[in-house]
Structure formats: structure tokens, C-alpha cells
Amino acid sequence: MTDPRTGLIHHPYEPPAGFDAPAPGVFKASTVIFKDTAALHARAWKDKTGYTYGLHGTPTTFTLEARIASLEGGLQTLLVPSGLAAISLVDMALLKHGDEVLIPDNAYGPNKEFARHELAAWGITHRFFDPMDPAALAAMIGPATRLVWLEAPGSVTMEFPDLPAFVRIAKHRGVLTALDNTWGAGLAFNAFDLPLAEGGSVGVDISVQALTKYASGGADVLMGSVTTRDEALHLRLKLCHMRTGWGVGANDVELVLRALPTMALRYDAQDWAGRRLAEWWEARPEVTHVLHPALPESPGHDHWQRLSRRTAGLFSVVFDERYSAAQVDAFVDALQLFKIGFSWAGPVSLVVPYGLASMRAKPTWKGAVVRFSLGLEAVDDLIADCAQALTVVGR
Ligand SMILES: *Cc1c(COP(=O)(O)O)cnc(C)c1O
């Protein structure tokens, strides 16, 4: 090797082996180099015994996958570029022309939008079910039903379903279940081991998470995970994952790996703060409902209590009908510490006003809904922020 330009690329130096540090190493690669043609021909891209191409996994992505699988109580995890990609991967892998998917009416909005547009265009039908009525789901499952989505609690309106009852019904009918477990995050309950009221337990087939939320916690990463406990089901998902080409970047994986050790601490801190603020809202005359699974009046509180002691730092309030949408917007605009923005579980507290009419088939509440997501600020400051903003709308 005489030309220094070549030496910049093919250098004989190798650092000593055996380096160890608290943080796992970060490997970045599109290309993975094979030792020889025999290794190339023998490449095993279906399992994790080796490496074939950056898109199919690196030590960095394998490490995060293994940690999320354990967190969720599952055995295999796939990483995708967002929480929404985790939802659409499950749909694309498991649904074919002529199939039907059932989705809770209060599900994360983009899950419903994917069904309404992409799935519909591919000849896959969908229906939305009442998230609080297992009998309604049982009546809806037909010969074409292949997949039931679940979410606990529902996005924005926070009704907590009788998760084990829904899973048992779908299982009994031979239909796969997928849970959007972003709220529980693998910390509030084990989606693969849900206690039944009558004894015993059931588990969902697939748990997806927006790692964007609690796993990352920084409001600076988009990533999703798809976790299973069944090798054959995992392989179906993995093959679709490979064909669609959904890789994640090592820099993003590094951020999530770095945040995982503090995830439970952040979850519990935001849980505690969320309950304090939700209880404060309960005493306010401006709102008629506080939707937080830990509050006894919140829909599905009993279902939550049977599964968990933990909640995410997230809740909604329903303003009294005497307040117009414009007045509620004015309240939101008057907040100083709460920033207006989607997502949750980051360091900054967030707020979003929602009109239920466009979101739900049969809206349960009449007034405008405001969702709060707790950040990591001191809760007394957040309470004071809500109090000062309420002076804008008056009694
Ligand atoms: C945020 C979120 C998603 C989507 O995650 P992205 O990474 O933003 O695509 C899916 N489901 C729930 C319940 C969420 O809160």
C-alpha cells in the first residue's frame, strides 16, 4: 500500500479488542463487508446470527431491538422509522385484498386514516368499533376479519378498554390482535400477559410502540417498534419490513439507547405530575370532565385498575359547553409553559385542543377537549400556568 489515499481507506491499524463501556457502541453502515464469497453465499438474513446489509440490522439496532423486546415482555422486535410506520407495517404485513381490519373508534387518528385511504385503495376493508363494548366487537368479527387493533387508553379521549376481554374474544375467533402500546410503553402492564377477570391470562399477538414518546423521551427522535412473542408471526412481519425497506438510522438508535435507562424514572415522574394536575382540574368549574384513567370517574377506570398502577403523564379535560371553541383556543394560546404541539413524553409540557366531532363516530362529550402532556417542569409551575391562562376565558 504505497499511495496515502488508499491508506486512508485501507489502513492496517486495528484498535485493541475488548473495549467496554456503559453505553453500547454505535455502528453505522449501509454496507456490511463479507470475509469471502463463501460468507456472502451463506448469508443468513432471516435471523440474527449475522449481518448482511445495514438495512437488515447492525449490532446497534440488534441491541435496541433486544432491549425493547424485553421491556415489552416479548421475544422479537423490529424497528421502524416512526410509530405510525409500526402501525402501517403491521397492516401491510398481515392484510391482503379482501381482508378486513377492525379498529377502535378512539384509536390514534393516523391509524384510522391509513385504513381509510391506503388500505381501502388496496381492497382491504375496515370498520371502527366501540372501544368500551367487547360484545360489539364479538358481533363485528366476520369471516374476512384478520386483524383487530387495540389501544389502551384511546388517544385523546382516554377511555380505558377491558383489554383482556377484547383480546380473548379475538383469540377465540382466530383473529390476530395488535395493540398500540405507546401509552403503556411496556411499563404500565405486560401486553403479552394480561390477567382475565375470571382468572388466567391472555396476550396480544403484536405490541407496537411509538418509541418517539417514552423510550426516547427527548422530543428529538422518531422511531417505532413492533414486538411479538411468536417466531412465525415475527418472520411474516420481518419479511414485509425487509421488502418495504424501513431502516432506522444509528444516530437515532443511539439516542433511544441512551434514554432507555431513565425511561421508568421519567414515566413515573410524569405519571405523578399528571395526576396532580388532573386532580387540580377536577376542582375547576370551567370543565365538566377530566379524562385520566387513574380518576374514578374516567371511563374504564376499573379496567385500568385491574391491569396497572401506572399511568402515562397524559390526560384531557372537556370544557363546559358554554365555552366556544374560540374561547378554548384563547385559553390554550394564553398558556406560557405548555407549548402547543403534538406528541408527548418529552421534557416540555405540551397542549393540543381537539374538536371531538371530527374524530369520533359518536362523540361522548359535547364541549371542546384539551389534551395535556406532562413534561418535566415543576408541577406547581404547570398548575400556576393553567390558572393564569384560565383567567383569559373567565367563569
Ligand atoms: C405518537 C403516537 C403514534 C405515532 O408515533 P410517531 O412516531 O409520531 O409516528 C402512534 N400511536 C400513538 C398512541 C401515539 O401517541
**Considering 230, 260, 290, which residue would you say is the last residue of a domain?**
260
78, three cell numbers: 423490529
184 and 299 within one domain: no
Residue whose Cα lies nearest atom 10 of ligand 1: it is 83
Ligand 1 centre distance from Cα of residue 385 (Å): 26
350-353: which pairs have CB atoms within 8 A and are 24 or more residues apart?
Answer: 350/375, 353/325, 353/328, 353/329
pLDDT higher than threshold 80 for residue 363: no
- Interatomic CA distance for residues 316 and 370, integer angstroms: 5
The CATH number given to whatever domain includes residue 356 is: 3.90.1150.10
211: CA distance to ligand 1 center in Å?
8
Judge if the beta carbon of residue 181 lies within 6 A of ligand 1. no
Average pLDDT, integer, range 149-156:
95
Closest ligand 1 atom to Cα of 342: 1
How far is residue 87's CA from residue 207's CA, in Å, rounded to a whole number? Answer: 10
Compute CA distances 65 → 52, 244, 252, whole Å: 17, 18, 13
Which residues are CB-contacts of 328 (< 8 A; sequence separation ≥ 6)?
Answer: 319, 353, 367, 368, 370, 393
Residue 152 and residue 74 in one domain = yes
Domains in the chain: how many in total?
2
Residue where a domain terminates, one of 233, 260, 287: 260
Determine if ligand 1 sits within 6 Å of the CB of residue 153. Answer: no
Q: Which atom of ligand 1 is nearest to the CA of 82?
A: 7
Q: Determine contact, residues 336/388, Cβ cutoff 8 Å.
A: yes
Amino acid 172: pLDDT: 97
pTM for the full predicted model: 0.96
> Does residue 295 share a domain with residue 171?
no
Domain membership of residue 171 as a residue range:
59-260
Q: What is the pLDDT of residues 272-301, one digit of tens each?
A: 999 999 999 999 999 999 999 999 999 999
- Say yes or no: 177 and 274 in one domain: no
Q: Residue 11 falls within a domain, yes or no?
A: no
Do residues 252 and 385 share a domain? Answer: no
Pocket test for ligand 1, best of 108, 181, 256 (most atoms within 8 A of CB): 108
- Whether the per-residue pLDDT at 141 is higher than 70: the answer is yes
Q: Based on the domain organization, do 164 and 102 belong to the same domain? A: yes
pLDDT tens profile 27-69:
999 999 999 999 999 887 777 788 999 999 999 999 999 999 9
Does one domain contain both 245 and 305?
A: no
pLDDT value of residue 50? 87
End-to-end CA distance of the chain: 81
Ligand 1 centroid–CA 9 distance in Å is 41
- Atom 3 of ligand 1, residue of closest alpha carbon: 83
Same domain? For 252 and 282 the reply is: no
Asked if residue 108 has its Cβ within 6 Å of ligand 1, the reply is: yes
- The model's confidence at residue 1, banded by pLDDT at 50, 70 and 90, is low
Res. 356 pLDDT band, cuts 50 70 90: confident
Q: Which ranges of the chain would DSSP assign to H, the alpha helix?
A: 4-9, 37-41, 59-72, 83-94, 109-114, 120-121, 134-140, 163-172, 231-244, 250-259, 263-282, 301-307, 325-334, 379-393
Q: Which residue has the cell 405486560?
A: 190
If asked whether residues 119 and 254 sit together in one domain, one would say: yes
- Cα 82 to ligand 1 centroid, rounded to whole Å: 7
CA 377 – ligand 1 centroid, Å: 23
Residue 227: strand pairing partners: 77, 207
Q: How much is the pLDDT for 44?
A: 77
Query: How sure is the predictor about 106, in pLDDT bands with cuts at 50, 70 and 90?
Result: very high
